[in-house]
């Protein structure tokens, strides 16, 4: 996961798509504002070949890496900070790690693989920079080479999003191989597109939309063809409105020419799109029909511009940031759907972040990994919706396959899922396929975060916040301590065996006002002592093994002897409390000591 950045003067966004790789270089001109200074595109057809894009062919990898090297040189000439994202072709390929390694080694480009819904979110960001539609509810359609992203949004908020395996390159290979097209194949392709679009119709009907927006090279090609007869040539296609009837007519013209073998002679078709324009136009036409669009507005800005804006927003955040607003909302969305005790998960996340910060000198992880830990803590129990037995494995599946997690890369979602999966039972093992494929750094991150999460969950074993805060200190062999809230170590996570790590537990107590009926306001007073966290201490003490292995020192969980007299539930975790649907950590109603439920806290 990338560390937080200072705001750069010049940014470069690279979009590694199925059909082509695009670069846009922009100069930062202010908050959320930039001026594009260079654009470049290379058609590489990463997704071209047999196997429905399940494998990147060796020649496609070579073309892609060569294009990335050239685009990197352009970015370097502008002294730009580069961020590259990869979409459908790389996302789906079983050998995508080979491509990512080659891109890093031979082109000097670190490529993030993003999920389909994250792709839709970033495209939405880009569109909002190009069109005056922020205050209008929009239905966005972006047709790529391997997938089509659909999104309903308003005022910057994503109301619904879906990524479908409908792309111009993908459908060309499936229905029109070798450029051969027949009326039957066109009809078959249309029916396939309709079936794929059908699951998104309820979301569109529920939310509705005021304006339909289309982006991508495919949409631009069809829009250009629809306006060939206009009297005056346009300086820009951004914001051009095209009627549904005009697009239907162009699609029919393309289909007719393709079946007759005369597509290359159609005026206005870009030569490099001749072989994929039929599939692309069919997708756009069927999207318009499926959702009842009267017209579409074309946006020249899309994924690349969204990446630029997202990078700007990230660069302004501090190093000890919590989840971004978008990511937090999406995590909350998943938790609300699957977790029946979000208050417990919220408090576990608070304790986990305290442990992460307090042991930072020992584990040596970059502060940005707090995001992954926080999300994993909030989602660790979502697998309970399937079954209690093995729910940690179900949590992995739910997180990994959710289409609701926005603001994360595909790799980050995988790490969140793995940390949640290892919050109980077996520690990560080389025999576990999902863990084994990670590089050494990622494996260490998963082990460290899972070790922290195991203890944090144990510290709320009764789901009643008997523990209000934790403090961590290092005890040397002579018994001397090094102070509170820090672990003195080498700082590289190596874990020198020079003493033991002591976790002090600060208990919570709640005093309820006498004579107040149920449902009335309850004043919670949380002094330093009063509750009985003995069960939590005992449980946490049994679950220190994984963290001990990471830190390279014994971990002891004990009751704090003399914690600060003024500690409160709110102040004890001010710097680490996650913002979730549960609200502030101390506002979920009265804590009732004695309410014990180890529903999801068992081994």
Whole-angstrom distance, CA of residue 292 vs CA of residue 322: 40
Task: Check residue 325 and give its pLDDT.
Answer: 67
Q: How far is CA 571 from CA 295, 333, 473, 575, 586, in A?
A: 54, 27, 19, 8, 10
- DSSP H stretches of helix in 166-324: 168-175, 183-197, 201-207, 217-226, 244-260, 277-290, 303-315
Give pLDDT, residue 508.
62
CA 333 – CA 311 distance, rounded (Å): 23
Q: Which of 468, 478, 457, 453 is nearest to 564 (CA)?
A: 468
CB neighbour list of residue 112: distance below 8 Å, 6 or more residues apart = 83, 84, 85, 86, 409, 410, 411
Burial class (CB in 10 A: 0-12, 13-18, 19+), 230: exposed
Q: How far apart are CA 131 and CA 173, in angstroms?
A: 33
- The answer to whether 298 and 239 have CB atoms below 8 angstroms apart is yes
320 contact partners, CB below 8 Å, separation of at least 6? 357, 367, 370, 575
Q: What is the pTM of this model?
A: 0.70
* Dist CA 349 CA 345 (whole Å): 6
Integer CA distances (angstroms), 326 to 125, 261, 342, 440, in order: 11, 48, 19, 29
DSSP H or E segment with residue 51: none
**Euclidean distance between CA atoms 490 and 559, whole angstroms:** 27
For the chain, which residues score pLDDT lower than 70?
1-8, 31, 49-51, 316-325, 474-499, 506-531, 560-603
Cα gap 580→57, rounded to integer Å? 43
Kindly report the number of other CB atoms within 10 A of residue 595's CB atom. 11
Q: Is residue 538 within 8 Å of residue 477, measured between CB atoms?
A: no
Q: How far is CA 362 from CA 129, 348, 349, 509, 555, in A?
A: 43, 21, 20, 31, 12
Q: Sign of the CA dihedral 514, 516, 517, 521?
A: negative
Report the pLDDT value the prediction gives residue 528, as an integer from 0 to 100.
Answer: 34
User: Using alpha carbons only, what angle is made at residue 310 by residues 203 and 163, rounded to the nearest 5 degrees?
Assistant: 30
What is the structure's pLDDT at 49?
64
Please answer whether residues 37 and 47 qualify as being in contact, where contact means their C-beta atoms are separated by less than 8 angstroms. no
Q: Judge contact between 505 and 466, C-beta under 8 A.
A: no
326 φ, ψ to 5°? -65, -45
Pairing of strands 555-559, 138-143: unpaired
Per-residue burial over 405-435, b if 16 or more Cβ lie within 10 Å, else e, is: bbbbbbbbbbbbbbbbbbbbeeebeeeeeeb
**HEC-encoded secondary structure of 273-315:** HCCCHHHHHHHHHHHHHHCCCCEEEEECCCHHHHHHHHHHHHH
CATH number for 132-300 (one of 3.30.420.150, 3.60.20.10, 3.30.540.10, 2.40.50.420): it is 3.30.420.150
Q: What whole-number distance in Å separates Cα of residue 368 and Cα of residue 318?
A: 10
Compute the distance between CA of residue 94 and CA of residue 379 in angstroms, rounded to an integer: 27
CA count, 13 A, side-chain hemisphere, 330? 24
Bridge partners of residue 157, in order along the sequence: 154
Closest CA to 70 of 51, 93, 44: 44
pLDDT in the model for residue 125: 92
**Distance of alpha carbon 428 from alpha carbon 433, whole angstroms:** 10
CATH 1.10.3210.10-classified regions of the chain:
320-573
Give the architecture (CATH level 2) of 10-113.
Answer: 2-Layer Sandwich (3.30)
Rg of the chain in Å (alpha carbons): 27
Range(s) within the chain of domains with CATH label 3.30.420.40: 10-113
The CATH fold assigned to 320-573 is Hypothetical protein af1432 (1.10.3210)
Give the per-residue pLDDT at 162. 94
């Amino acid at each position: 996961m990338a560390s937080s950045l200072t705001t750069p003067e010049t940014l470069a966004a690279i979009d590694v798509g199925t059909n082509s790789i695009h670069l846009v270089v922009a100069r930062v001109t202010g908050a959320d504002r930039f001026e594009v200074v260079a654009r470049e595109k290379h058609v590489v057809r990463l997704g071209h070949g047999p196997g429905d894009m399940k494998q990147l062919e060796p020649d496609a990898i070579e073309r892609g890496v060569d294009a990335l090297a050239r685009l990197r040189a352009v970015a370097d000439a502008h002294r730009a900070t580069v961020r590259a994202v990869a979409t459908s072709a790389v996302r789906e390929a079983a050998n995508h790690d080979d491509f990512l390694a080659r891109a890093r080694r031979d082109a000097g480009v670190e490529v993030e693989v993003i999920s389909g819904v994250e792709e839709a979110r970033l495209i939405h960001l880009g569109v909002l920079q190009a069109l005056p539609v922020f205050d209008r509810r929009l239905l966005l359609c972006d047709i790529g080479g391997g997938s089509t992203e659909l999104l309903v949004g308003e005022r910057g908020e994503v109301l619904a999003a879906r990524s479908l395996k409908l792309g111009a390159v993908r459908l060309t290979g499936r229905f029109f191989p070798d450029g051969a097209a027949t009326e039957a194949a066109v009809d078959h392709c249309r029916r396939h597109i309709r079936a794929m679009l059908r699951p998104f119709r309820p979301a569109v009907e529920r939310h509705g939309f005021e304006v339909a927006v289309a982006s991508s090279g495919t949409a631009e090609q069809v829009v250009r063809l629809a306006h060939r007869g206009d009297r005056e040539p346009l300086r820009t296609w951004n914001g051009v409105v095209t009627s549904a009837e005009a697009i239907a007519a162009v699609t029919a013209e393309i289909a007719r020419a393709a079946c007759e073998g005369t597509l290359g002679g159609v005026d206005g078709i870009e030569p490099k799109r001749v072989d994929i324009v039929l599939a692309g136009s069919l997708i756009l036409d069927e999207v318009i029909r499926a959702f009842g669009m009267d017209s579409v507005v074309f946006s020249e800005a899309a994924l690349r511009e969204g990446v630029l804006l997202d990078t700007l927003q990230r660069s302004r955040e501090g190093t000890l940031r919590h989840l971004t607003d978008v990511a937090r909302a999406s995590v909350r969305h998943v938790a609300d759907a699957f977790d029946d005790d979000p208050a417990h998960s919220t408090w576990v996340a608070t304790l986990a972040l305290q442990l992460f910060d307090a042991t930072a000198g020992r584990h040596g992880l970059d502060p940005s990994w707090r995001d992954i830990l926080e999300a994993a803590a909030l989602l660790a129990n979502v697998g309970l919706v399937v079954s209690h037995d093995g729910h940690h494995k179900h949590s992995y599946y739910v997180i990994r396959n959710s289409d609701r997690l926005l603001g994360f890369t595909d790799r980050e979602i995988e790490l969140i899922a793995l940390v949640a999966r290892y919050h109980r039972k077996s520690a990560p093992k080389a025999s576990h396929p999902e863990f084994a494929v990670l590089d050494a750094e990622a494996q260490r991150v998963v082990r460290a975060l899972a070790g922290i999460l195991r203890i944090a969950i144990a510290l709320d074993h009764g789901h009643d916040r008997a523990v209000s805060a934790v403090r961590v200190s290092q005890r040397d062999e002579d018994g001397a301590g090094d102070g509170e809230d820090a672990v003195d170590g080498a700082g590289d996570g190596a874990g020198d065996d020079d003493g033991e790590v002591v976790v002090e537990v600060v208990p919570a107590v709640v005093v309820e006002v006498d004579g107040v009926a149920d449902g009335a306001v309850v004043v919670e007073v949380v002094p330093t002592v009063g509750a009985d966290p003995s069960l939590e201490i005992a449980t946490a003490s049994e679950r220190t093994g994984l963290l001990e292995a990471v830190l390279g020192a014994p971990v002891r969980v004990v009751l704090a002897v003399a914690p600060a007299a003024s500690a409160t539930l709110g102040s004890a975790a001010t710097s680490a409390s996650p913002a979730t649907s549960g609200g502030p950590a101390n506002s979920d109603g009265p804590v009732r000591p004695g309410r014990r439920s180890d529903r999801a806290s068992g081994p």
